[in-house]
Structure 1
Amino acid sequence: MPYTPKEGRIHTKIEGLSFYRHDNPNYSLPCVQPLGIVVALQGRKEISLGNKHICYEVGQILFIGANISGFSYMPECSLNKPFLGLALEFDFNQLSHLACTLELSNKNTQQQNTPNRIFNLFDANEKLLESLSRLVDTLQEETLIQPLAELIKHEIALRIFHAHPELVALLKDGTATHKLLKQWYG
């Protein structure tokens, strides 16, 4: 993958988009998971956030609703087959605004029975993966990177909320979680 030539985190010209590469299994590697999503492109990663242990692999997306510190572990990686991941951070105010506008269309869902967790692991659907791929492709278009990236990031958030309306409950106005996050992000 051309965006991950060396081990560690590689930031891109798209605000909030970065790639990860790990060549060696690391035990209890401290990490901060920002508000956004992380996607395994190759391999598997385990994260401990508080007392919760989450394992995600290719085809899965981890949504994190706030900056959370924890520990990560890549159990199976090597120089020949490194762990490769993509992280996309979102702006809290933009996500919160989007969640509020979607509240009406999602009001009939059974959100009351869904636990209000600050993170959620789910399988990626084809349309979401296509959107992520288009976002990465904008890195090839120097003059259009920022305007296209903002549109595609909005689309990605919309697709996540549409497919997983329970996440809207994390960020919509009036919920206890929203109030805490609003204080956190200012």
Structure 2
Amino acid sequence: MRNSIAELAQKITRLVGNELELVTAVPNLTIYSIPAPTPPTGYLLEPSVCVILQGTKRVFLGEEDYSYAIKDFLVTSVDLPLSAEILKASSTEPYVGLTLKFDRKEVASILLDTHIPSRSAANNGPGIGIGTLSRPLFDAFRRLVELIEEPENVTTLSPLIQKEIIFR
């Protein structure tokens, strides 16, 4: 899978060009290619999944910090005020990642359709977590990024792929 990740990182870097980030024509998808480490920057992150394809990033939520790198993702289930910094990036190996915002109604629909049990309020964590990309999840993200160059297919395929990503 490492070669596939490197190929997708190269594609994203090419698509982003000199802009650092690109809000794509694929709904809810933003891609990034940042050529240097950054200082901590605050922002509000909506429910989403953030995937790293190259480089390292650290996110702070209050006193907690979450570091993640290639093949990792960060997922949030609620709006969170975060601070983040890119730790590892260079002009030859930029930080490359993507963020897919979640449609709350779509998430709720999938949870109901798949009969995934809900957790009790007492077990709820901070609404943030880190995971490792599985091959099927990576493949879904790859297909979603490929839609950037297939605008005629975005309307039909993007909702299906995003639903698969939420499911996985």
Aligned residue pairs total: 154
Q: Distance in 2 between matches of 1:126 and 1:27?
A: 32
Q: Indicate the residue corresponding to 2:76 in structure 1.
A: 64
- What CA deviation, in whole Å up to 9, does each residue of 1:83-124 have, x standing for no partner? 111100111111112112223xx44x9x56x94221111111
The SS at the match of 1:27 is coil
Q: Is 1:116–2:144 an aligned residue pair?
A: no
- What CA deviation, in whole Å up to 9, does each residue of 1:52-88 have, x standing for no partner? 2101111111111122121111112122221111100
Structure number with the higher strand fraction is: 2
- What CA deviation, in whole Å up to 9, does each residue of 1:11-41 have, x standing for no partner? 1001110112222222212233221100001
Q: Distance in 2 between matches of 1:79 and 1:69?
A: 29
Q: Indicate the residue corresponding to 1:134 in structure 2.
A: 143
- When normalised by structure 2's length, the TM-score is 0.83
Contact 2:25/2:151 (<8 A) preserved = no
Q: RMSD in angstroms over aligned alpha carbons?
A: 1.9
Deviation at 1:143, TM superposition (A): 1.4
Q: Distance in 2 between matches of 1:98 and 1:120?
A: 19
Q: Distance in 2 between matches of 1:77 and 1:32?
A: 23
Q: Percent of aligned pairs with the same residue?
A: 21
What is the one-letter code of the residue matched to 1:55? S
Counterpart of 2:30 (choices 13, 18, 27) is 18
What is the one-letter code of the residue matched to 2:151? E
Unpaired runs of 5+ residues, structure 1, are 160-186
Counterpart of 1:125 (choices 125, 134, 142) is 134
The SS at the match of 2:87 is coil
Contact 1:7/1:23 (<8 A) preserved = no
Deviation at 1:128, TM superposition (A): 0.5
Compared CA separation, residues 140 and 8, structure 1 to 2 (3 A): closer
Runs of 4+ with deviation above 6 angstroms: none
Unpaired runs of 5+ residues, structure 2, are 1-12
